[in-house]
Amino acid sequence: MNNISKSRFFTAVASIIFITTVVSLNSSVSEVFFLNLQTFLSKYLGWMIILLANGFLVFSIYLLFTRYKDIKLGGSGATPAYSYTNWIAMLFSAGLGIGLLFYGVAEPIMHLNSYPGMIDGNVSYNAGKAIGLANLHWGLHGWAIYSSLGLCFAFASYNKNLPFRVSSLLGSKVASNKNLAITIDVIAILTTVFGVTTSLGLGTVQISAGLNHVFEINENFINQLMIIAFITAIGLVSVSLGLDSGIKKLSQINMVLAISLLLFIFILGPTIFIINALIQNFGAYLNTLIQSATWTEVYNDTSWQNGWTLFYYAWWFAWAPFVSLFIARISYGRSIKEFIIGVLFVPSAIVFIWMGVFGNAAIYQVINETSQISEMVSSNLPVALFTLFDVYPIAQFLSILSLILIVTFFVTSSDSGALVASMLSSKSQSNINDDSPMLSRITWAILLGVLAAVLLYAGGLTALQTSVVITGVPFALIVVFACKQFLKSLKEEIIN
């Protein structure tokens, strides 16, 4: 316990227990309260959320063309701690993997069914628009947020020898104000823990639904509890092994399984249709990117934008402390240019391919009426992925492969969340080989599983997910100040 910041650790744990208790005992009231607050923020601050998301994308691309692009994270003599393959695998697994499994099929179909701008009878436009919106929500803008804050973390820790904390990014005035610094770091811990917890709980629902769909295993709380216990147990083993032997190995497995699943759908599915669609989707995405990314729905009397694009941007903001810090932790020795290309463009390209293959395979089934996938997305969202497989000759094999991949992705996210929460609640972590105290990592790993089980039982996951998204708005403003301080530090680095 010597290297644990007791003020941060115990304040965060006490706050988590209090918030979880309140939400669990008042799940319905909490859900309504947070949804109303989210609607309020979307209505009055939606313009700001859109400007910020686009601003971080411009900021990341701008850095590629500055004199700072060749500065190395860790100094001129620093060498990367991980190969490109392992680096991409880890940042992708922690930052995105499970989301694409859950929404890669479901989201394009949901847009096809509900987007208010669809044109009756124009299948080409509607299908392209559905894929384009999915790419907008999962592509460049989200990863630009991670790229911007991740650079701030990495430069502050590796080049200025500051602790891996949000408070370290905001300048000496904030860092010297102990109470303010602790408050900011505790909020970052809460956002990390609750973000991972809600994803763990919602992912458990998908695994449970998949087991029911494939093996007819009942969807009940006892079985869901066993799933959480299983994932937590594997996570404990992984987090105990450390970053190199745990998360890195799991991330390698994730990428092999994900690529295998992608190739199966591409080869066994409507291959020529998917190839043609990918080319058309790419052109449509580039052609409408600025328009789609700045759309505020001001002339439409609907709330679609509030529940989709604004929700996604706020969710990316809320996950930024967790994912960005983890990405920074594994990016020692990379130049700023390498970092931006690897964190911004490579995952976005993977998103484009994944959405193009799975989304278009699903849309093909809708157009040709070869399955009930559209109705299934509307009635039972977690089963959408498994419904896609039902028309393939090896449907059960694909479903089992997907279930394994969902589990390994969730273990990776849980491990990464425990590692980040431990780093944020430690006295100082600015050494590339310092992964924070083992006891702290194990404590956070167990707490994540317990919280997911409690909230799943009490019905508080949706309320908590919405509350986490709400924290994304103030965090986006923190990232703005962090980027400003980062630029100031870069100028000082060049001068010195």
Vertex 185, ends 152 and 7: CA angle to 5°?
140
The burial of 273, by beta-carbon neighbours within 10 Å (0-12 exposed, 13-18 middle, 19 or more buried), is given as middle
Which DSSP category does 426 fall into? B
Could you tell me the residue range of the domain that residue 99 belongs to? 6-495
Joined tokens for residue 194? 């609750």
Determine contact, residues 11/188, Cβ cutoff 8 Å: no
Helix (H, G, I), strand (E, B) or coil at 4: strand
Indicate whether 318 belongs to any domain. Answer: yes
What is the distance between the alpha carbons of residues 112 and 318, in angstroms, rounded to a whole number?
27
Joined tokens for residue 79? 């060498």
Give the CATH number of the domain where residue 129 resides. Answer: 1.20.1740
Contacts 24+ apart (CB under 8 A), 386-389: 386/209, 386/210, 386/213, 386/214, 387/105, 387/213, 388/105, 388/265, 388/358, 388/361, 388/362
Dmax (CA) for the chain in angstroms is 66
pTM for the full predicted model: 0.91
Q: Give me the tens of pLDDT residue by residue for the chain, a chain 496 residues long.
A: 567 888 998 999 999 888 888 888 888 888 888 888 888 888 889 999 999 999 999 999 999 999 999 999 998 889 998 889 889 888 877 766 677 888 889 999 999 988 888 888 888 889 999 999 999 999 999 999 999 999 999 999 999 988 888 888 888 788 778 889 899 899 888 888 888 887 788 788 888 988 998 888 988 889 989 998 888 888 888 777 777 777 788 888 888 999 999 999 999 999 999 999 999 999 888 888 999 999 988 887 678 888 889 888 988 898 888 889 889 989 999 999 999 999 999 999 999 999 999 999 999 999 988 888 998 888 888 888 999 999 998 999 999 999 998 888 888 888 888 888 888 888 765 555 555 677 888 888 888 888 888 888 877 677 777 777 788 888 888 899 999 999 999 988 776 6
Indicate whether 1 belongs to any domain. Answer: no
Amino acid 95: pLDDT: 65
What is the distance between the alpha carbons of residues 388 and 363, in angstroms, rounded to a whole number?
10
Q: Which residues contact 64 (CB under 8 A, 6 or more apart)?
A: 337, 340, 341
What is the distance between the alpha carbons of residues 295 and 282, in angstroms, rounded to a whole number?
19
Q: How many domains does the chain have?
A: 1
